[in-house]
Amino acid sequence: MAKLQYNVATFKGLNGTAVVYLAKTDGGTQFLTYKALNGDPAVEKWTYLSRTGLQSYMANGDASISSTVDVSKLADAAPSGVLDANGWVILDNAGDVPRLYSGQAFYSLKGTGISDYTGETGTAVGGTGTGGGSTVVISNTAKTLSETISEGVTWVTKNPLILIAALFLLSELFGLTNLLGLKKKKTARRRR
């Protein structure tokens, strides 16, 4: 049997961006799985995702995986005893984890009975699809407002002349100074 571990990847599909989970067999073989819609009415079923399938999505820019996952060690064929007679993945502890990605950080979702992940969650990476798991960074998490402001302050401290020039131009624009003669002097009105 197999147990669901953590969410470690995403890929774009026809119905949105899927959350991909790392699963592990009792023998220790790691593989990827995700929920797919099947039938009418649509029912969520667990589907096996091969290593080469993931690498194809990555090569097309449609998938990302945590940099902490060694893609080369993932099963490229479904481990024995993991699939039912219809080809769906059987998991002991799937619980009620989401099918579609909505901003969850890697390793934040887990199977029932799995302890919280305390290691490094890594960054999102995509790959070339060749060489058994070679990866390159294609995306990263968004910056927070405080990080953006901090970078701005750092840039200004490294480039003070640009700041001085910008402040001077603003003062000219708003009429606080007229050293460049951008604003014409108003002619005095004649009194009669």
Residue span of the structural domain in which 97 resides: 2-137
In DSSP terms, 65 is beta-bridged to 9, 125
The verdict on 71 and 160 lying in the same domain is: no
Res 48: pLDDT? 95
- In the chain, the number of structural domains is 2
E strand or H helix at 89: none
Res 142: pLDDT? 52
Residue 107 lies in a domain: yes
What are the residue ranges of helices labelled H in the chain?
Answer: 51-59, 145-158, 160-173
The verdict on 59 and 109 lying in the same domain is: yes
Asked which of 137, 153, 170 is the last residue of a domain, the reply is: 137
Between CA 112 and CA 98, with CA 118 as vertex, the angle to 5 degrees is 40
The verdict on 121 and 166 lying in the same domain is: no
The verdict on 94 and 157 lying in the same domain is: no
The verdict on 86 and 168 lying in the same domain is: no
| CB contact set of 120 (below 8 Å; sequence gap of 6+) | 68
Res 128: pLDDT? 38
Distance CA 150, CA 82 (A): 49
The verdict on 175 and 113 lying in the same domain is: no
pTM metric for this prediction: 0.64
The verdict on 103 and 41 lying in the same domain is: yes
Res 143: pLDDT? 61
Res 192: pLDDT? 67
Res 140: pLDDT? 41
The verdict on 98 and 154 lying in the same domain is: no
The verdict on 79 and 170 lying in the same domain is: no
The verdict on 26 and 115 lying in the same domain is: yes
User: Residue 62 burial by CB count (10 A; 0-12/13-18/19+): exposed, middle or buried?
Assistant: middle
Which residue ranges in the chain fall short of pLDDT 50? 127-141
